[in-house]
Structure 1
C-alpha cells in the first residue's frame, strides 16, 4: 500500500460516523440496496444493518460503484433483533413511514445517535417495524405520487443528517475508537492478507507510519 493511499484511507475513516446508521427491511432489489450503500459511504456512515425476512440478501449491482467495500454490512435474523441491538447502543430509530404521528424528517436531531429504517420497495415498513421504532418521519411531497423510491428517500434523509452533523463539527472529530480504526484500515488496505490472518485466528500485524507492514 503506497503512503498516499494509506493517508486517504485514514482520512475517510476519521470522518466515519459510528452512531449514524441505516436499517433496511426487506429491500430486495439490488439496484436500490446498492444505491443506499453508496449514499451511506458518501455521507460517512460506518455500517449498515439489514433484515430480509422474505428473500435472500440482494447482491450488489454496478450502482454500488465499489462502495460495498467501504461500508460494513450487518445482517440480522429478524427485525426485533436488529432494533433491540441498536436501541441497546442508545440509538434512536426513526422509520420512514407515513402515519398520523409522523413528523417532517428535518425536525429530527441527527446529531444524536440515530438509525434510519427504510422499508420494502412496494409496501414500506412493516406494522411490526412501525410499532418498535422510536418515531416516524416523512418527506413532504406536493405532487401526485405519495412516495419516493426507497434509495432516493434514504439519500434525502441521510444528507439532512450530514448537513446537521457538518454544522455541529462532528466530521472534524474522530468517531471510531483507536482499536476499530487500526483494524479497519488494515482490512481496507490489505484485504487478502487480513482474510488470511482471520482464517488463522491471529491478530493483524501493526502498520508502520507509511502504511507498510
Structure 2
C-alpha cells in the first residue's frame, strides 16, 4: 500500500505524527467569521495540536480553504451546537478549561500550567466568552499587552497562545508528543490511508 506514496511523503507523515499533542486543545465559542475559524485551525495544526472544538450553533461551518491550506485534513475538528456540550466533556476528559478573558484578576498566559491537559477557550470577536463559558472555565487568562492596543484579533491571539502552550507542554513533557507509541503509529496509518484515498480520487 505504501508503495503508492513517495517515501519522502511517508517520512514526513511519520515526523509530523510523532510531534502531535492531544493534551493541548482549543475551543472556539461563537467565533462568527469563518476566516478567523480557518486561521485558528491552521495555527493549531501548525503547532502540532490533534483536535479543535468549534461551537457553531446554526448552519454549516464553511471553512476558508485559501486560509486553511488543507490543514483541516490533519485535524480532528469537532463541532457542537452549544457551549455546555463542548466544555463539560472536555472537563470530564481531564482538561483544565482556561478562558481567554482579560478581566481583572485574570492570569497571565505565561502562568498557566501546560504540563497538565489544557483547553484554551476563545469567545466571539465582539463579545468574548459567554457567561455560561465563563462560569464553566477553571481559569481566566490574558496576554500581557505592552502598547496602547488592548487586544488582538482572535486568530492572532489564538496563535500566540497556542505557540506558547505547545512549547511549554513539550518542555514539561521532555518530548515532542504526549501520544503513546501505539497512538502515533495508528495516526500514521490513518494519515497514509487518507493520502492514498486522495491520490486515487485524483487519478
TM-score by length of 2: 0.86
How far is 1:183 from its partner? Answer: 4.2
Change (3 A) 1:170 1:194: farther
Correspondence for 1:162 among 163, 166, 170: 166
| 1: CA distance, partners of 2:23 / 2:114 | 10
Structure 1 counterpart of 2:135: 131
Q: Does 1:82 align with 2:86?
A: yes
Structure 1 counterpart of 2:39: 35
Secondary structure at 2:63 match in 1:
coil
- Root-mean-square deviation (Å): 2.1
Contact in 2 for aligned 1:102/1:137 (Cα 8 Å): yes
Structure 2 counterpart of 1:185: 188
Structure 1 counterpart of 2:201: none
How far is 1:59 from its partner? Answer: 2.0
Count of residues paired in the alignment: 194
TM-score by length of 1: 0.82
| 2: CA distance, partners of 1:147 / 1:141 | 7
- Runs of 4+ aligned structure 1 residues displaced above 4 Å come to 192-195
| 2: CA distance, partners of 1:168 / 1:192 | 32
In structure 2, list runs of 5 or more residues that go unmatched. 199-203
Structure 2 counterpart of 1:208: none
Correspondence for 2:179 among 175, 179, 200: 175
| 2: CA distance, partners of 1:2 / 1:37 | 27
Contact in 1 for aligned 2:21/2:177 (Cα 8 Å): no
How far is 1:110 from its partner? Answer: 1.1
Structure 2 counterpart of 1:97: 101
Change (3 A) 1:192 1:45: closer
Q: Does 1:110 align with 2:114?
A: yes
Structure 2 counterpart of 1:210: none
Secondary structure at 2:134 match in 1:
helix
| 1: CA distance, partners of 2:145 / 2:60 | 32
Q: Does 1:65 align with 2:72?
A: no
In structure 1, list runs of 5 or more residues that go unmatched. 196-213
How far is 1:138 from its partner? Answer: 0.6
